[in-house]
């Protein structure tokens, strides 16, 4: 029993280290943007793409609204599932998820956070969500 508690403590410690490491990478990979004091509100659009494999998945594409360029390293989170990941160099994040109703949040340093309304994920549908992230004031 003592070995199991030691393993559990090691796993919890490793999880914390990985989480802190991930946050450090996110902060260092996000580009710092000097803004001219204006605040741009972000938005999103949802598109259905039919599939035939009885699964549901989501493709999130994240752009900077002011410059219309993909955002690398933005955090995309399915809130109710507590699952998240980072966008690639093209601003894309893909995730297979169970059928159900979920909200998605996108976060990035220097940009406004976007939270979707509740979205229904159906079987055989691939949902594509395009986010245009606004900017925050950094002085």
Whether 119 is covered by a domain: the verdict is: yes
Whether 19 is covered by a domain: the verdict is: no
User: Residue 75: CB partners within 8 Å, gap ≥ 6?
Assistant: 26, 84, 85, 86, 105, 106, 107, 108
Whether 100 is covered by a domain: the verdict is: yes
Whether 70 is covered by a domain: the verdict is: yes
Whether 9 is covered by a domain: the verdict is: no
Whether 1 is covered by a domain: the verdict is: no
> What pLDDT score does 53 carry?
62
H or E segment to which residue 43 belongs: strand 43-50
- pTM of the shown model: 0.63
> What pLDDT score does 107 carry?
94
Higher pLDDT, 114 or 3: 114
In total, how many domains does the chain have? 1
Whether 113 is covered by a domain: the verdict is: yes
Range of the domain at 60: 31-133
Whether 125 is covered by a domain: the verdict is: yes
> What pLDDT score does 57 carry?
81
Q: What is the pLDDT of residues 114-123, one digit of tens each?
A: 999 999 988 8
Q: What is the pLDDT of residues 49-64, one digit of tens each?
A: 665 566 678 899 999 9
Q: What is the CATH number of the domain that holds 49?
A: 2.60.40.1120
């Amino acid at each position: 029993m003592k070995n199991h508690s030691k393993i559990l403590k090691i796993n919890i410690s490793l999880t914390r280290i990985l989480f802190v490491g991930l946050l450090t990478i996110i902060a260092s990979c996000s580009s710092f943007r000097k803004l001219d004091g204006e605040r741009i509100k972000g938005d999103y659009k949802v598109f259905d793409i039919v599939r035939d494999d009885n699964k549901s998945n989501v493709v999130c594409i994240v752009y900077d609204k002011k410059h219309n360029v993909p955002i690398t390293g933005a955090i995309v989170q399915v809130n109710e599932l507590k699952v998240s990941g980072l966008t690639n160099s093209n601003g894309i994040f893909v995730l297979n998820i169970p059928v159900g109703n979920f909200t998605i949040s996108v976060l990035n340093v220097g940009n406004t956070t976007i939270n979707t309304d509740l979205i229904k994920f159906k079987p055989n549908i691939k949902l594509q969500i395009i986010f245009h992230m606004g900017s925050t004031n950094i002085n």
